Structure 1
């Protein structure tokens, strides 16, 4: 089942409604990091706020994909629209590879963060040099 802002399950009112917050890791500068032990229902509830917003996804294989989050499911599979991959290099500027409508498998998602579009559009990606991210070591 795919979730969106309209269809995502909501916490019920009452004493148990706030209990899921104890599992959330701190959210710093718009980056959402959730421990996998928290369970899929908690993670999908937190992702609801990112629907129809521009997000950056860092994958466990070291890729950075930016796009509009259109939907997700209980295993954190993500549907991104108007997406592109930012390929970093220490010798050249950041290359943007157009992906369009793109699905990221949930088991490959490491970090999801909201992008401030005004700040992002002001970046001169052609002059940014950075080493590519390494993949996650298990």
Structure 2
């Protein structure tokens, strides 16, 4: 470069491609988060529910879930509970809101008498809305 002369290079042209690497990184992180949290959103108690023909029921606005597993153990909202504690808890729920629905989930191998006992506890506590939860049967070929 000589004295008093400026370089005559052209300025660099702007980049016309979009850098998608940060977007892909964010999407992969979200995918990992969903993969890890999806199993936690389901009920922790494994049951073999009986099947019935019918449509999916609408969700009740106020409901408590009572589960009777294959061994006859009672669970209220996925927590094990004794029959006496269940009676007290259901009484509290009924006093707070008598229109609360009890969703009864019973394994198909549970004797019918055990299911009737659970229903009786709920009715004595003051809950008259009891819904039975079952899996929908696959469509039969006609």
TM-score, normalising length: structure 1:
0.22
The structure richer in strand per residue is: 1
The structure richer in helix per residue is: 2
In our comparison, the structure showing a higher alpha carbon Rg is 2
TM-score, normalising length: structure 2:
0.22
